[in-house]
Structures are given as C-alpha cells and as structure tokens.
Structure 1
Amino acid sequence: MIALLDRLRLLTIREFATHWGRTVASIFVMAVSAAFLVAVIGISGSLTGSVARLAAGLAGNASLEISGVSDAGFPQAVRNDVAAVPGVAAAVPMLRASVGPQDDQLLVLGVDAASAALDSTLKDAVQGDRLGSLLSVPNGVLAGPSAGYAKGDVVHLGSGQVTIAAVVSGAQQQRLNGGHFLIAPLPLAQRITGRTGELDSVLIVAAPGTDAAQLNSAVTAAVAGRALVGPPSLRAAQTGNGIVMLEFIAAMGAGIALVVSAFFIYNTMSMALAGRRPVISMLRAIGGRRQTIVRDVLVEAAALGLLGGLLGSGLGVLAGRYAIGLLPGAFTQMMEARLEYLLPWYAVPAAIAAAVLTNVAATAVAARQVYRVSPVEALAPVGASPADVVSPRLRVFAGVAAVVLAVATILVMRAHLGLFASVALGLAFGTEIAVAFASAGPIVAVAGAAARRLGSAGVLAGVNIDRAPRRVWATLMTVAIAVGMTITITGANTDVVRSARDTFASLADNDVWVSVTPEDAVPTPLLPADMAQRVAAVPGVARVTEGQLAFASFAGTKALLYGVVQGSNYAMYRSLDADTQRRLLAGEGVALSRDLARALHVSVGDELSVQTPSGEKRTRVLASVSYFSALSGTASISLTLMRDWFERPGASTLQIDGAPGTDRDRLAAAIRAVTPPDMHVYTGPAALDGISKAMRQGLVLSRIMLVIVAVIAAMALLNTLTLALLERRRELGILRAVGSSRRFALRMVLAEAAGIGIAGAALGVLFGLSDQFLYSRLAADMMGIDVTFRPGPLLIVFTAAALALSLLGSIPPALRAARLNIVDAVSVD
C-alpha cells in the first residue's frame, strides 16, 4: 500500500499537476456526460413518479381501483354494485378534474365520507377541524398548501363558485400533486364540473382475510365492462405507455454522449501514455511490472471518472429541473398529475458508475500500448513504436463486427418492433464505428493528404498525421461523430416535423378553431353546451363543425380518441378514403393509427372489443393509417358513437368556416368577443403552427444532446492538438532554430487541424446521411408516421461548421506553437 501511495504521489499526482489542462478537460467531459445522464433519469422519473406519487397518496391501503376507460369516467351506479360484492370493506368513490390554466392547473378531488376508510394522505387532509370547516361552510372546499388561496376566498370553478373553508398544510399534503389541489364534497364537485352522477375512480379496501384473486374476479364481474379494474398503480402504468418514447430517445442520447466521451478519454489517455513513455521505460528498466503500471493508470482513470461523475450529478439535477419546464403541455395532459421534479434514488449512483466505467474502459483500451512498449521503444518518438500502429488482427476483427452489426440492423428493421425499432439506430452507429476502425489506415491517409494540399506547412502537418495514426483516428472520429450526430438529429427532426405537419395540414383549412386548451395542447376538455349556438350566431360564420377528443383505454393502452362528423378537418379523418369515411360516419367501425393497431394486434377487417362506461362494445377495424402519435396511439370513430358509447355529450372543439370574403382574423376577433375569457380562439394556420411548436418542444432533449456532442468534439480537438504540440515541442524548437518563422509554426498546426477536420467532416456527412435515411425508414414503427428523407441545404453549413470547429479548437495550440521559446523547446529533454 505504501508503494502504491508513493507511485501515485510521485507519478500520478505530479502528472495531474503538470498537465492540469488535460486533467480539467477530462473531468469536464465526464461531468457533462454524467450531467446529461442524471437529467435524463430525472426527467423520466419525474414523468412517471409524479403520477405514481399521486396514485399512492390517494389510494393508501386500497388494493384495487376502478377507473374510467375515458375522460368521461363511468356511472356512479358502478360504485353501488361494487360495494355489494362480498369481501369489499369499503368502496370509496372519487371524482378528479383539472381546472385552471394549463401552466397552473389545480386538481379538484370530489370525495365523500367513505374516504375515511383509506389510510392515505387524502384521509389525513380531511381529518379533524378541517372536516368540520368543510361541512359548515356552504359550497366549501379545502385548498392544498400550494393552491394559492387563503381561508375565506371565493373561487369561480366551472359553472359555480366555491368558498375556501380551510387550507391544509404539512409535508404529506405538499406531496399530494405538489400541494396544488382542492378537496370538495362529491356532490359539489360533480355539480361544478357538470358531471352529475359520474365518477372517475372507486378505490376498493378489502376486508381482512379476503383472497385477492377472488376479490378481483368478483369486482370485475360486478363492473361488467363499464370501467377498468386493476391495482391503483394501473393508472400510472397507462400514463407511462405514452412517455416511453421520450424516455427511450433520452436514454439513447445519454448513451451516445458517453460513447463520444469515451473517444475523448481514449484519445487523451493515449497521448498521455505516449508522453509518459520515458517514465514507463524507467519503471520497466528498474523492474516495474506492466500489470502494476496499467493498474496505476486505471486507478487514475477511476479517480477522474469519480470526480467528473460527482460534479456532473449536481449539474444534471439543475439541468433536469430546467428541462422539465420545456416539455410540451401534451405530456401533462396525459398524466393528470402535476409534473414535479422527482429524482430517483439511483440517478446519481448510476451516473457516477457510468462515468467511472466509461473512463476506466476507454483508458484500459489506451493502456494496452503499455504491454507493447519495451524499455528501449519507450524512449522512441511517437510513430517509431509498434504501439502507434493499429494491429491488422484488430482491423479484421472490426470488419467482422461491422458485418454482424449491419446484419443485426437489417433484422431489427424488418422485425417492426414498434418503438424499440430505434435499437437499429444504435446498431447502425456501432457498424459505422467498426467500419471506420477497420478502415483506419485509409482514413488517416486521407487526412494527411488533405493537409499536404495546404502548402509547405501542410507537408509537415501531413507527416505529423502519418506518424500518429491512433491519435489522429480517434480525434478524427470525434469530429466525424459530432458532424454525423448534427446531421442526423437536425435532419431527422426536420423530416419528422415536416412530415407530421404535412399530415396535419387540414387543420389550416378551417378559418377559426375554438377549444378550452391553447393551440399547442390536445383539446380534450368539453366546451360549454351552448357554445356552438353562440358561435353560429356570429356574423360571418357560415358553418360550425363540432368535434370531440378524449383519452380512452384500449386493452390497457391509453390512446387519443377522435369523434368526427361530416366535414371534420381532423387529420386522421381526412386521411381516409371516401368509402372508409362514409362507413366510419355510419358507425360501422373504427380507424386506428398504425402503432395502435400494432399494439392491439389487430388489422383491417378484424373485430375489436372496446370497453365503455355503458359496457363492452364490439366494432370492426376499418383502416390502419399512418398518423403521428408519438405520445400515444390514436383512434377515430363517429361523434355519434363517441357520445353514446362514452356518455360524453357535447364537443371539445369547434371548427368554423367563414362566409366567402370574410377576413379570418376579424372573424376570430368577433368569435372571441362572444366566448368566455378562459376559452381559446385561434385561426386555422395558428392551429397548425401550434402542432409544429409542440413537436419541436418534444424534441428538446435531442437538441441538448447535439450541444453536448459538439462541446465534447471541440474539447477533444483542442486537447489532442495541445498534447501533440507538447510532444513535438523539441521538433518545433529545432525548426525555429534553423530559420522557421512563427507564422510557419502557426500554419503547420492549423493545417494539421484542417486535414483532420476535412476528413472527419467528410466521414461525418456519410454517417449523418446514412443515419438520417435509416431514421426515416424506422419512423413508421417508432412514431406511426411515414417520414420522407430529404437532405436539406444545411448539410453544407454543417460540414463547414465542422471544419470551423476543428480550426477553432486548433487556435490555442497553434498560438502556443507560434510563441514557443527556442531555447526552452530545444532543452526540454
């Protein structure tokens, strides 16, 4: 142990102090990657954890929950039928409704005296003096600690007014929907929300000694298909189905960031070990074992990874909190619960472990050269040792791996795995890296040839590139990955948004839209019953078309359901042919998005069972269409059937056409004048822009990933060229001593960077276009939409940006080379 500490003090700590810039760069890169991983886990945990926390806070000791198959809930009579089932100690009815603006919504909870049977946060909130206050105040409600109301406040809710009887407080109540809730007696909640006789949930408390399986079976029979029966966690699980895509893409982004970081660490440690060859030679000459030297290097890497992981974890928490606020409103609509930042306990340990393992693994690959360097070879310059040459066997192995990965990519594509088809992107990424490694010699030769085209300084730069193929390949690949990721992410995002926007183009055909939610949210809340008549009476209105959207459950999968009529401009309905539209409006069946049909394992012509508040209904699948439904699957039926089956009268949107010659903006202003202030009135083009905005917001994580990769690439080039400069310091001093100018040294370093940048950018363009094309082929499985591959004019901009990035990273070492002191450089050894 003493010997180990002495070696670390004399060698490792001294190395850290001497090359502190490289140490800081390595820690920074691992910190950025760890921060992204913590942010990703935090976002995912917040999305699922917010719903799970709300469910646990309401359910308490309940063993089963009856929940609605749609936003309409189910008849209150279901509760009475369930309460009579043997083994049911208590059947607690509940109504849940979100009120207020989307960015500050409150959850209204309607409960009755049966809630006393629940051992939950809800029960604690209505105990003691609060219950007396609630019963003694006319139209009284209890407000959560973060609801923003004080005792005695009169609040307008829905179709009536309520009075704040008391404000509940405490840590447990703060955890219930983040403290943003109102608790009302069940009849009052039903009245102010216009849902008399309806419930959203019945929580079942089992009698002691009751068999769980028998109770589940008996309750299911009593419900008779009018609602869903399952554990209280079922609601959270259904919500989770809609956010799997975000979690999956985010996880892939974190993985790619770690891969790019591994390239950086490999490059850095390769150069560091090359610079420490004299020390390694000395240790070997006095009897030091290779295993001991490698172990010390790995301990050094683990220490850097640990420090980077710790720093990155703190940054990741801050980044996650910020990113949560950037998510589109559609996520919160699906969740029902208020989105809170909840960091899972394993986030920080996982990020630290990933940082340490990535650092150690990349360093271990670089440390292989220690086993290939003899005491004599260690004193040779870079390029003169076999350690600087890639083994032919490794190249053959990389070629075989590339073939295997390419075959796996094709098999995954043909398997149509839905969201998990995106695994093919990861396999394709591995294929590209393997091919590039197998072709390392030609790739480095291209970089050297590009440098030689830049004059006499470029000739020397080309020689420097040829002398260190490992270092140049790793640096070049970092640039290539940065360019490839830029093209893939921006190109694929552009393709998806453009293709999805094209499918929603029919929204702009209406002059004006009216809904409760803004144009970038899903309009599921119902409009006031007389809204259509009031709008139809506005001068200049030629036609008002009603429509309805709601989230419904299909065989445990939460999907967005459209209710349509003749003349509806909903994109899914407009994508159907005339005969299918006629059959749909006649109530002969349902149209499904491609991803929902795949999830339900049905195809056109199959019979589909649909649970509704009025019992199970049988219908036929009329069509399976390409439709953007990244958050959940999508279905469409006639508005008549939707109102009948789901007992949800009214409309959630009004599609308004103006009379010929009517100005759209003036018509929207006139309609806005006759609607309540909490309604949203917007033009058809604004509706289409809102959809595009929501999609772009949903892609925020990919843009963050793009920035991270670009930063790592720039640092990799800066670090590599700086280390290369330190290695050649004596050579540069001799060149200056024989008459070379400072400008020549500057041009030589810039030429080397340019050669690496040109080759890396060219390779990155090939990677990026290939991955963008692959993404367009996988989009049908991942998003349910046909995406058209279209390379954009920004391709040239990205390529030029990569070259600029390379030159930018080379400026500090180039300036350092130009300012080199001749005497110090020549006497460095």
Structure 2
Amino acid sequence: MIALLDRLRLLHIREFTTHWGRTAGSIVVMAVSSMFLVAVLGISGSLTGSADPAGLAGDAALEVSGVTDAGFAEAVRADVAAVPGVRTAAPVLRANAGPDDDPLLLLGLDATARELGGGLGGALDEDRLTALATVPGGVLAGPAAGYAKGDVVQLRSGRVTVAAVLGDDGGELNDGHYLIAPLPLAQLVTGRAGQVDSVLLVTDPDADAAQVRSAVTAAVAGRALVGEPAIRAAQNGNGVLMVRLMAAMGAGIAFVVAAFLIYNTMSMALAGRRPVISMLRAIGGRRQTIVRDVLAEAAVLGLVGGAIGSALGVVAGRYAIGLLPAAFTQMLQARLEYLLPWYAIPAAIVAAVLTNVLATALAARQIYRMAPVEALAPVGAAHSDRVPVRARVVAGVLAVVFGVATVLVMRAHLGLFAAVGLGFAFAAEIALAFALGGPIVRAAGALARRLGRAGVLAGVNIDRAPRRVWATTMTVCIAVTMTLTITGANADAVRSARDTFESLADSDLWVSVTPEDLVPTPLLPAEVAERVAAVPGVERVVQGQLAFATFAGTKALIYGVEPGGNFAMTAALDAATRERLLAGEGVVISRDLARTLGVSAGDEIPVQTPTGEQRTRVLAAIPYFSALTGAASMSLALMREWFDRPGASTLQVEGVPGGDRERLLADVRAALPPEVHAYTGDAALDGVSRSMEQGLVLSRVMLVLVAFIAAMALLNTLTLALLERRRELGILRAIGSSRRFALKMVLAEAAGIGLAGTALGVVFGLGNQVLYAYLAGDMMGLQITARPGPLLAVFAFAALALSLLGSIPPALRAARLNIVEAVSAD
C-alpha cells in the first residue's frame, strides 16, 4: 500500500500539481465534448418528446388521425364509434392559437374526453366542465397559458373567455401551454365547422385488439389514418430526423476531435515524464503497472470532465432549443419544451471516460517501447520519438480505405445517412496526414527557417521533435478544416436554399394567416381574397394552398397551385411538365420524398385523402429543399377536391405595373383582419433564409466548441514543448542570447507550425466543402453548388492568429526563464 501511494504521489499527484495547466486543459477538452453530447441528446429528446401525444391520449388504444392538417369530417367519428369493441370515441380538434411568437395549442373536445383517463382526462372534473358549459364562449386554460379566470382572449376570428384555469394535474400536455374549448366553439373560432383532427378510441377490456383495429380501418374507408396514438409522434419524428442525425454526427465528431487532442496531449505529457518513468523502470517498476496507473489517471480526468460538461450541457441544450426556428413548433403542433432523456448524462460521462482512456492507451504504448536508459534521453534523440515506417504505411492504407468508403457512400445515395460520408472523409484526412507526417514536419521547419536567425534555431527544434510538431500542426489543421467545412457548407446551403425560393420575390405581396418565417398552411377566411382583389392598385390575385399530408407514413408538405403561381416548386419545372401539373394529370414530388417512397417519374402512386384513396402519376422528381419533410405539388383544383380543403392558405398579390409597392402593402394590410399577415416578396424570401440559418444553429455551436478545444490543445502542446527544452533555453541564455531572442524563437516555431497547419487545413476544408455540396442532394434534397467565398482568407488568417495567440504564454515564459534554475533542472 505504501509503495502504491508513493507511486501515485510521484507519477500522478505531483504531475497534477506541477503541470496543473495541462491537467485543466485535458478536463476542459472532455468537458466541452460532454457538454455538446448532452446538449445534442437533450435537443433530440425534446424534438421527439414534444410530439408525444401521451398527455392527451390517456388510455386510448387507437387513434384515427387526419391525412392532412385539415383533419376529416366529423361524421367519421360516428362510424368508428359504432364499431363493436369501441367503448369511447373522443373527437379532438387541434390548432395553434394566440400570438405568433408564442402560440398556444387550442384543443376542441367534448365530454367524452373524460373517459380517456390520463392526466388531462382526469383534470376535466365536473366542476370544470360545469364552468365550461355555463360561461358563454368559455374555455379552460392550461396552467402555463398565462391567463386568469375571466380573461378574454382573441382567437383568430372570435373571442373566448377563460372559465377556469387547470392546475398542475393538467400540465403535462404541451408543457401546460394550451386552451381547451368545447368542440363546436373550437370549430367556430378556427373556421373548421364539421371537422376534427383525430378521434381517440378506448376499447373494451375484453375486446380483441386486432379485430377492433381491422373493423375501425374498414369503417374509416381510407378517409383517415388508423394506428396507435404514438403514430402522430412517429410521423412528426420523420420531419426532425435530419436535425437529430446531424446533431448526433456533430457530437461524434466532437469526441473524435477530443480523442485526437487528448492523444496528442498525453503523448507529450508522457514524453515529459521520461525521467520519472525511467527511474521507476530502473528500480524494478513493471510496464503494466505504470500503464495501468496512467489509464486510471485518464479515467479520473474523464470522469471529472464528463461531470462538469454534463451540467453545462443541460444549460446549453435549453438555450439551443430556444434558437430553433418556429417551423418546428408549427410542424409538431406542439410547444418545444426541453426534455432531457434519463440516459443523457450517464452516456456523456461514460463517453468522456472511455474516450480519455482509449486515447491515453494509444499514447501509453510508448512506455512499452521505452528502455530505462533510453527514457533519460532528450526529446527527439530517443528511438520512441520516431514514428516507424510501418506505421506510416498502415496509415496510408487506412487513408485509402476510408477514401474508398467515402466514394461508396457518395454513389450509394443513402438519403440522410449520406452524412456518414463526411465522417469517413475526416478519418481519411487524419490518416493521410499521419502517413505524410515527415513531409509535414519538414515543411513546418522550412517555413520557420525563413523567419530570421531565431527561425533557424526554431527549425532545428522542429526537426528534433517530429511527433510533437506533427501533433501541434494537426491541431491547427483540424481547427482550420472544421471552420472552413462548417462555415462554407452552411453558407452554401443557405445560399442554395435561397436560390430555390427566389421566385417568391418575383411577387409584389403575399398574404397568409402565418408570418413570413412560417409555412402558410392554415386556410384564410373566405372573404379575404375578395377584399384583397378590391384594393386599389391590385392587378391580380393568385390563390394557393399548402398543407401537411401523409405519404406512406411520412409527413410531406403539399403545394396546391394554379396558373400564374410563383411557388418555388413549380417555378423549377419546364413548361411542358408545368402544364401537365396544372391540368391535374399528376404530381411533382421532391427527390427525397421520391427516394423514401421508392418511386420515380412515370410511376403511379397511391395517395390517401379524406375522400378515400386516390391514385396519381409522378410527373417529375426534382431537387427541392425540404429539410423538415418531403414535398409534393399538384393543381389547386385537384387538392381542393381530394383533401376537402376549399379556399386558399396563401394569396399571391400582383400590383399594377409601376405602382408603389409600399403603398400597396399598407392598403392591403388595412383591408385585412388583424389575424392575417401581408408581406412583400422580398420579406418572404428573407423569412425562408432566416429559418434556414436558425436551423443550422447546432453546426455553429459545434464550430465554436471545436475552435475552443483546438485553442486549449495548442496552448498545452506549446507549453509542453517549452518544458521539454527548458534546459536548452537556459544554456542559450547563459551563453549570451537575449530574452527577445528566446521570445522570437518560440514565436517563429509557432508561426512555422501554424502556417503548415493552416495550409493543410485549407486543402482539407475546401475538399470537405465540395463533398458536402455533393452529399446535400441526398441529405436535404437540395442541389448545392460549392462556392468558396472571400471569407476563406479571413478564416485562414484567423487560424494562424490562433496559433500565434496560443504561443504567446509559452513564449513569454521562455523569455522570463531563470537561467540558474533552467540549467540546474533535471
């Protein structure tokens, strides 16, 4: 036991206290990675959990849900209620109500909702139902809705009065942000008379589930979807799959980067411990014992870093949820609330510990190659400092393997999962850089030698420590690569999405119930089109419709268009295809939806509608941005007929030639009801771009984290380099070199390494940007063109500045070095 304590004190505790900066840096690297993982899991859990209808479904075994967000005829409820084995058929109408920036969920229910059980059903007691029935236009407010009893609330085309406020017993649904209205009142204020969105079915305890479901499906006769209540969450989950996948990949890349940097840091740390390790080996210490202690040290650091990062990840996840675009809330028909899965924090801590231990295990292999006498040699002179040629060859082979895997992913067209191609490309780049480690180190030394006399000596130092220099160069390279990949890919995606919707700006004005940054799916009041057409200065009004519908279990956005419409999906068609579409001969679908359904142009597909199953032909499958869902387009007349949606959800307004657009906008707004929005075509285009940029918030967070990790690792490696050469620097000072010379030498070394790392990072970053543009067609259904912009030079310079900034503390330390202490150091 005494020997164990002495070994721990000598090899670990002493290192923690003496080199506390390196210890803190390792903890910070793992904390940041763990924070990102917890934030990602929190966002994924929130997107999935917010769509879970369990707070409303209660004991319901089946749900009959609408094919579109317009629901279906209330008469369907009577048909399914008559099915043997169905005890309760509770109709539900759902709609978003209240202010656009913080909408409430409006629920239309009747007395049968009490029989659903669960949290909400139990909250609808006799007293509350009595209050609801006795107050004219009365509604029940959720506990977090922000209303008190007696408040009057404006809901679209009508006013309602809060008859009672539910307590915490009704707070699970939509995080307590909802209003409950009697079904007829909800239908009245939303303008959906005779319509419901779903019917929740509670079956008899002794009923056969399969027989009941079969009978309900037959009674529905294709007018709606039949499934378990969780089907709504599953359909909505398809829409956020891309965000969840990209977030998970971001967390994975963050841990890969962290593992690489931990490996570099521990390699340098073990190199700095050579005298101690040599002494332990000389007095009989076993290699296995030393390695085991080093791995235990890594596990402790990973545990501490994971715990700190997990706590920070909860805060970061809550913040990131608030930054997601409002389109998520609209599609889910639920409030995005922060729901952290129970496994998130344990998974982050375990991932941090395993990453730290595995990376340290790779670095600790040098202990097995380190003889007691060789361990006393300075860095660069020992055989273990040189990378074997065999290792370089293996790395080259791995680079080829990962490169081939990237090409296979590109050719396989895996849809959203094509994103793994970026991971393969990143691995190929790291392996290739390791295989070319010698030329990379020599290039860094050559660049340093061009910086004067101090640079010549810095170049010699670079040549003497190839392992450390390669590690530091790759730290800079990773920072530059990730920066260029993320910023370039984001800029390309936003620009290409904007180009896709460019036709929106060709119209003078747009009118819809929703603002410009939301999808205009709610139907406009019937009289709005006539009011707008009568405004002076209006030459033409083109009606259109958008609605979410279900294709083979996948939620898709359908566009209903008529001649003269400027919807982006039809603007991309050739004249012949557009004429066939407007004539109702078929539909045009986005490429990602075609891949999901397994169809192509010319195929016939079934479409489930409130009027029964219809069949139509695919006229074309086109690249179209639909990151949240797939998309389809059909004639407005056909959409109204099939989906039983009269009217329009958008009005495209064209003014007389030469008219004042701002005056026209003001006049149109004056003619509209307060709940209807009017905005210019440019504003509509800006709204699409704004939503796209908000949806990329996770990648921007990842960029900041990677840059921070790289900066910490760079500071650590340069500080370790200074410690390795402390005696050498002392001798230089003793023979007459100035403090300024020592400062210049360290800065020259950092500049050489920074320039080499930046150049390599630019090459890798540009390659990844082009690769992302190619894969985006599979991931987002969007045709992206990679266009490196002028910011490339800015980012490259920023990376070089980062390397120089990280070298300033070690350089100042070298300049202030005490000569006697440095020369006498062991």
Structure 1 distance, partners of 2:157, 2:705, is 49
Query: Secondary structure at 2:682's aligned position in 1?
Result: helix
Asked if the contact 1:260/1:478 (under 8 Å) is kept, the reply is: no
Residue 710 (structure 1) aligned to one of 707, 710, 721: 707
Residue 306 (structure 2) aligned to one of 301, 304, 309: 309
Does 1:539 pair with 2:555?
Answer: no
Does 1:502 pair with 2:515?
Answer: no
Match of 1:147 in 2: 145
Give the AA of the match of 1:31: A
Q: C-alpha displacement at 1:7, in angstroms?
A: 2.4
Query: Secondary structure at 1:524's aligned position in 2?
Result: coil
Query: Secondary structure at 2:323's aligned position in 1?
Result: coil
Match of 1:42 in 2: 42
Deviates more, 1:799-808 or 1:120-129: 120-129
Structure 1 distance, partners of 2:778, 2:765, is 20
Asked if the contact 1:388/1:469 (under 8 Å) is kept, the reply is: yes
Asked if the contact 2:156/2:675 (under 8 Å) is kept, the reply is: no
Q: What are the superposed Cα offsets for residues 27-63 of structure 1, whole Å, 9 maximum, x if unpaired? A: 11111111111111111111111111xx111111111
Q: C-alpha displacement at 1:4, in angstroms?
A: 3.5
Match of 1:415 in 2: 412
Match of 1:678 in 2: 675
Q: C-alpha displacement at 1:252, in angstroms?
A: 1.3
Match of 1:482 in 2: 479
Structure 1 distance, partners of 2:100, 2:152, is 21
Q: What are the superposed Cα offsets for residues 424-459 of structure 1, whole Å, 9 maximum, x if unpaired? A: 111111111111111111111111111111111111
Match of 1:350 in 2: 347
Match of 1:285 in 2: 282
Structure 1 distance, partners of 2:225, 2:690, is 34
Residue 166 (structure 2) aligned to one of 145, 165, 168: 168
Query: Secondary structure at 1:820's aligned position in 2?
Result: coil
Structure 2 distance, partners of 1:502, 1:161, is 41
Q: C-alpha displacement at 1:337, in angstroms?
A: 0.9
Match of 1:112 in 2: 110
Match of 1:801 in 2: 798
Match of 1:789 in 2: 786
Residue 273 (structure 2) aligned to one of 273, 276, 281: 276
Query: Secondary structure at 1:546's aligned position in 2?
Result: strand
Asked if the contact 2:392/2:436 (under 8 Å) is kept, the reply is: yes
Q: C-alpha displacement at 1:414, in angstroms?
A: 0.7
Structure 1 distance, partners of 2:733, 2:186, is 85
Q: What are the superposed Cα offsets for residues 713-741 of structure 1, whole Å, 9 maximum, x if unpaired? A: 11111111111111111110110110101
Q: What are the superposed Cα offsets for residues 176-195 of structure 1, whole Å, 9 maximum, x if unpaired? A: 11111111111221122111
Give runs of aligned pairs for residues 29-68 of structure 1, distance below 5 A: 29-52=29-52, 55-68=53-66
Matched pairs, number: 826
Structure 2 distance, partners of 1:132, 1:194, is 25
Match of 2:74 in 1: 76
Residue 245 (structure 1) aligned to one of 242, 247, 250: 242
Does 1:614 pair with 2:611?
Answer: yes
Q: C-alpha displacement at 1:676, in angstroms?
A: 2.2
Structure 2 distance, partners of 1:144, 1:583, is 49
Match of 1:820 in 2: 817
TM-score (norm. length: structure 1): 0.98
Give runs of aligned pairs for residues 374-389 of structure 1, distance below 5 A: 374-389=371-386
Match of 1:22 in 2: 22
Q: What are the superposed Cα offsets for residues 264-310 of structure 1, whole Å, 9 maximum, x if unpaired? A: 21121111111111111111111111010001000001100110010
Distance 1:589 1:62, change over 3 A: same
Residue 98 (structure 2) aligned to one of 97, 100, 123: 100
Structure 1 distance, partners of 2:614, 2:42, is 40
Q: C-alpha displacement at 1:2, in angstroms?
A: 5.7
Residue 86 (structure 2) aligned to one of 88, 109, 113: 88
Give runs of aligned pairs for residues 314-353 of structure 1, distance below 5 A: 314-353=311-350
Give the AA of the match of 1:102: D
Match of 2:7 in 1: 7
Q: C-alpha displacement at 1:536, in angstroms?
A: 1.1
Structure 2 distance, partners of 1:524, 1:617, is 22
Does 1:528 pair with 2:542?
Answer: no
Asked if the contact 1:266/1:366 (under 8 Å) is kept, the reply is: yes
Q: What are the superposed Cα offsets for residues 180-231 of structure 1, whole Å, 9 maximum, x if unpaired? A: 1111111221122111111111111111122222222111111111101111
Q: C-alpha displacement at 1:115, in angstroms?
A: 1.6
Asked if the contact 1:133/1:166 (under 8 Å) is kept, the reply is: yes
Structure 1 distance, partners of 2:216, 2:780, is 36
Query: Secondary structure at 2:130's aligned position in 1?
Result: helix
Structure 2 distance, partners of 1:166, 1:9, is 67
Structure 2 distance, partners of 1:567, 1:4, is 83
Structure 1 distance, partners of 2:812, 2:502, is 54
Give runs of aligned pairs for residues 149-298 of structure 1, distance below 5 A: 149-170=147-168, 172-298=169-295
Does 1:584 pair with 2:581?
Answer: yes
Matched residues, percent identical? 74
Q: What are the superposed Cα offsets for residues 110-162 of structure 1, whole Å, 9 maximum, x if unpaired? A: 11122222121221121132122112222211111111111112222232222
Structure 1, unpaired ranges of 5+: none
Residue 598 (structure 1) aligned to one of 595, 599, 617: 595
Q: C-alpha displacement at 1:3, in angstroms?
A: 4.2
Q: C-alpha displacement at 1:390, in angstroms?
A: 0.9
Structure 2, unpaired ranges of 5+: none
Residue 626 (structure 1) aligned to one of 623, 626, 633: 623
Structure 2 distance, partners of 1:812, 1:355, is 28
Structure 1 distance, partners of 2:521, 2:6, is 68
Structure 2 distance, partners of 1:693, 1:184, is 34
Structure 2 distance, partners of 1:682, 1:431, is 48
Asked if the contact 2:191/2:525 (under 8 Å) is kept, the reply is: no
Asked if the contact 1:714/1:806 (under 8 Å) is kept, the reply is: yes
Structure 1 distance, partners of 2:86, 2:133, is 27
Does 1:771 pair with 2:788?
Answer: no
Structure 2 distance, partners of 1:744, 1:240, is 61
Query: Secondary structure at 1:110's aligned position in 2?
Result: strand
Query: Secondary structure at 2:101's aligned position in 1?
Result: helix
Give runs of aligned pairs for residues 120-131 of structure 1, distance below 5 A: 120-131=118-129
Q: C-alpha displacement at 1:585, in angstroms?
A: 1.1
Structure 1 distance, partners of 2:477, 2:723, is 24
Structure 1 distance, partners of 2:513, 2:462, is 63
Query: Secondary structure at 1:657's aligned position in 2?
Result: strand
Does 1:371 pair with 2:345?
Answer: no
Deviates more, 1:767-776 or 1:512-521: 512-521
Structure 1 outlier segments of 4+, above 4 Å = none
Structure 2 distance, partners of 1:174, 1:752, is 61
Distance 1:475 1:653, change over 3 A: same
Does 1:656 pair with 2:653?
Answer: yes
Q: What are the superposed Cα offsets for residues 84-104 of structure 1, whole Å, 9 maximum, x if unpaired? A: 112212111111111112321
Give runs of aligned pairs for residues 632-647 of structure 1, distance below 5 A: 632-647=629-644
Structure 2 distance, partners of 1:542, 1:294, is 81
Structure 2 distance, partners of 1:762, 1:754, is 12
Give the AA of the match of 2:753: I
Give the AA of the match of 2:81: A
Asked if the contact 2:98/2:154 (under 8 Å) is kept, the reply is: no
Q: What are the superposed Cα offsets for residues 591-641 of structure 1, whole Å, 9 maximum, x if unpaired? A: 000101111111111111111111111111111111111111000011111
Match of 2:508 in 1: 511
Give the AA of the match of 2:28: F
Give the AA of the match of 2:31: A
Q: C-alpha displacement at 1:8, in angstroms?
A: 2.1
